Amino acid sequence: MGFKEGFLWGGAVAANQCEGGYLEGGKGLSCADMLKGGNVSTPRKFSPVIEEGVYYPSHQAIDFYHHFKEDIALFGEMGFKCFRLSINWSRIYPNGDDEEPNEEGLKFYDEVFDECKKNGIEPLVTLSHYEIPWAITTKYQGFYSRKTIDLFVKYAVTCFRRYKDKVKYWLTFNEINAALMPGGGAYNGVGLVLEEDLKNTAQRPVNELIDDPQKRLEALHNEFVASALTVKAGHEINPDFMIGCMIAHLTSYPATCHPLDMLAAQREDDRFNNICGDVHVRGSYPPFTKKYYESLGVKDFSFMDNEEDQKILKEGTVDMYTFSYYMSMTVSGTKAEEQTGGNLVFGGKNPYLKATPWGWQIDPEGLRWTLNKLSDRYPGVPLMVVENGMGMIDKKEEDGSVHDSYRIDYLRDHIKVMKEAVEEDGVPLIGYTTWGCIDLVSAGTGEMYKRYGFIYVDRNDDGTGDFSRSRKDSFFWYKKVCESNGEILE
C-alpha cells in the first residue's frame, strides 16, 4: 500500500516568478513583466509601459536564469523525481507572432532539461503559466482573437518537436479557470486588456481592469480550443507524452446546512470547477454552462455552438488532470459572510480553520475531499497535485538556516491526507509538486516576503539581496519524504 512506485515527488515554479533575465537571450516582454509589486493590502498595478528605475518583480525575480544549475542540483539533493517549471512563451517567440523561434531561448531550456536529467529529475512543463507575450495582448487582445489559437499551437509544436526526447509530461495552461473571473484571470489568464486600460497612464490595479465578460469567456473558449489542438498535436509528435490540464481547484463549503447555502456551494464549488475540467477531460462543456455564463454577463453564445470547435474539443482530451490546491473557503446563499484572503478569490471565513498571514485557510482534509470528488467525476483519469504550499514570512538566521516548522506541518498534513485518499479511497494519484519549492515572487502580490520554498533566496522586495541560496529545515524534511516515497513524514 502507500504511494505507487515511481510517484512523482517534487516541486513547482513558473518562469516569470523565478527566471528573471527578462530581456536576456532575445526574450520579448510578457504580460507578467508589466506588473509592479504589491503586498497583502496593496494590489499589484499593471503598467502598460515599463518605467525606468521602477522595481518590477519578474525582471530579475530570483535569477533562476543564471542559477538554474545550482537550483536543480539542490532539487536533486532533496531527491526530487519531478520538477514542474514553465517555458516562457516570450523566450521562444518574443513577439508571439514571429516567423521563426528564438534559438537562444530554445537552447536555454535545452540546458535546463539536461540539468534535470543529470539529477534524475523528470521535468513537468507548463506551456503557459500566466505568461503570454505582451505583443499578443497589445496586437491581438490576447486569446480573444482566434489568431492567438494558431500562435499558441505553433509555439507548443515548436517545444514538442525540440524537447520530445527530454520532456514527457506537459501541461497546456496554468489555472485555466482563472479566466472565469475578471481581473487577473483576464489579464494573466487570457491576456485580455481593453483599449482604455492599454492607454491608461493612471495604472489601475490588475484586479480592477475594465472587464468585458463576453470577450473574456470567448477568449477562454479559444484557450480551450488551443489546448485541445495542442494535446492532439503532441500525441502525434510523441505518443508517449502525458499531457494534462491545470485547474485552480477552488474548494468552497456551504457556510451552514441551510439549503440556500448548499445551493450556493453547488454553484461555486461543483459547477465553477467542473466547467474547465469537463471541457478538458470529457471534451465538451457541461450542460449548465450557458446558464452559468449568462449569469456572468454573456449574451451571445454562438462561440460555444461552433461545430468545428466542438469536434476539436472531443479529439483533444487530456491524459491527466492536474490541479492546484492551497485552501478552502465557505460560501453562503443567505447572508454576507466575513471574508478572508485566498488563491485568486476572497472567500468566506470558516470558524474551524486557521489561516496564514495572507488569510489563506489551512484545510488538509479539503484536499482529500477534492481528490475524491475529482476521481468520482473522472473515473480512472490520473490525478496530480501540481501546486500546494504555504506562503509565510521566514526568518533567515546568521548561519543561513530557516526554522520553518510551520511549513513542515502544513505539508505533512496534506501528504497524510493524500495517502489516505490513495489507500482508503482508491484515488489514482500519480504525483505531488509543492508550490514554490524555492522562494520566488508571489503571483498574487508580487512579493518575495511571502515565501514558499525549501530553499531560501536572499532577495527582498526593495530589490536588495545577493540571490544566495540556503537550505531551510523543510529542505531536510522533504528530502526524507522524497527518498522514502512518502513513508517517512516525521
The rounded distance, in Å, linking the Cα atoms of 391 and 456 is 12
> Position 289: which residue type?
T
Q: How far is the CB of 16 from ligand BGP (least distance, A)?
A: 8
Residue 107 backbone dihedrals phi, psi, to 5 degrees: -65, -40
* Contacts to ligand BGP by CB under 6 A: 14, 17, 174-175, 248, 324, 343-344, 387, 391, 435, 442-445, 450
Looking at beta carbons, which residue is closest to ligand BGP? 444
Residues 257, 293, 199, 225, CA torsion sign: positive
| Helix-, strand-, coil-residue percentages of the chain, each rounded to 5 | 45, 15, 40
For residue 63, what are the CA distances in angstroms to 37, 57, 129, 456, 461?
17, 11, 17, 13, 14
CB 469 within 8 A of CB 74: yes
> Which one, 261 or 404, has the nearer CB to ligand BGP?
404
Told to judge if 447 belongs to the known catalytic residues of this protein, a careful annotator would answer no
The residue among 145, 137, 148, 152 whose CA lies nearest residue 194 is 137
Q: How far is the CB of 120 from ligand BGP (least distance, A)?
A: 25
Q: How far is the CB of 450 from ligand BGP (least distance, A)?
A: 5
For residue 209, what are the CA distances in angstroms to 191, 193, 199, 318, 342?
12, 7, 12, 32, 19
The rounded distance, in Å, linking the Cα atoms of 86 and 104 is 16
Catalytic residue among 19, 115, 131, 175: 175
Catalytic residue among 19, 131, 223, 387: 387
> Which one, 276 or 422, has the nearer CB to ligand BGP?
276
> Which one, 358 or 378, has the nearer CB to ligand BGP?
358
The rounded distance, in Å, linking the Cα atoms of 436 and 64 is 12
Told to judge if 387 belongs to the known catalytic residues of this protein, a careful annotator would answer yes
> Which one, 38 or 254, has the nearer CB to ligand BGP?
38
> Which one, 87 or 233, has the nearer CB to ligand BGP?
87
Paired with 392 in beta bridges are 451
Buried b (16+ CB within 10 A) or exposed e, 463-474: eeeebebbbbeb
Burial class (CB in 10 A: 0-12, 13-18, 19+), 25: middle
> Which one, 130 or 152, has the nearer CB to ligand BGP?
130
Q: How far is the CB of 74 from ligand BGP (least distance, A)?
A: 20
Which of helix, strand or coil describes residue 175? coil
Q: How far is the CB of 195 from ligand BGP (least distance, A)?
A: 27
The residue among 173, 172, 196 whose CA lies nearest residue 185 is 173
Q: How far is the CB of 179 from ligand BGP (least distance, A)?
A: 13
Helix extents (H) in 298-446: 302-305, 307-315, 364-377, 405-423
The residue among 166, 276, 242 whose CA lies nearest residue 431 is 242
Q: How far is the CB of 244 from ligand BGP (least distance, A)?
A: 14
> Which one, 71 or 309, has the nearer CB to ligand BGP?
71
Q: Is 96 left (phi over 0), alpha (psi -120 to 50) or beta?
A: left
Q: How far is the CB of 388 from ligand BGP (least distance, A)?
A: 10
> Which one, 241 or 325, has the nearer CB to ligand BGP?
325
> Which one, 298 or 329, has the nearer CB to ligand BGP?
329
Buried b (16+ CB within 10 A) or exposed e, 86-117: bbbbbbbbbbbbbeebbeebbebbeebbebbe
Q: How far is the CB of 113 from ligand BGP (least distance, A)?
A: 21
The residues annotated as belonging to the active site are: 175, 387
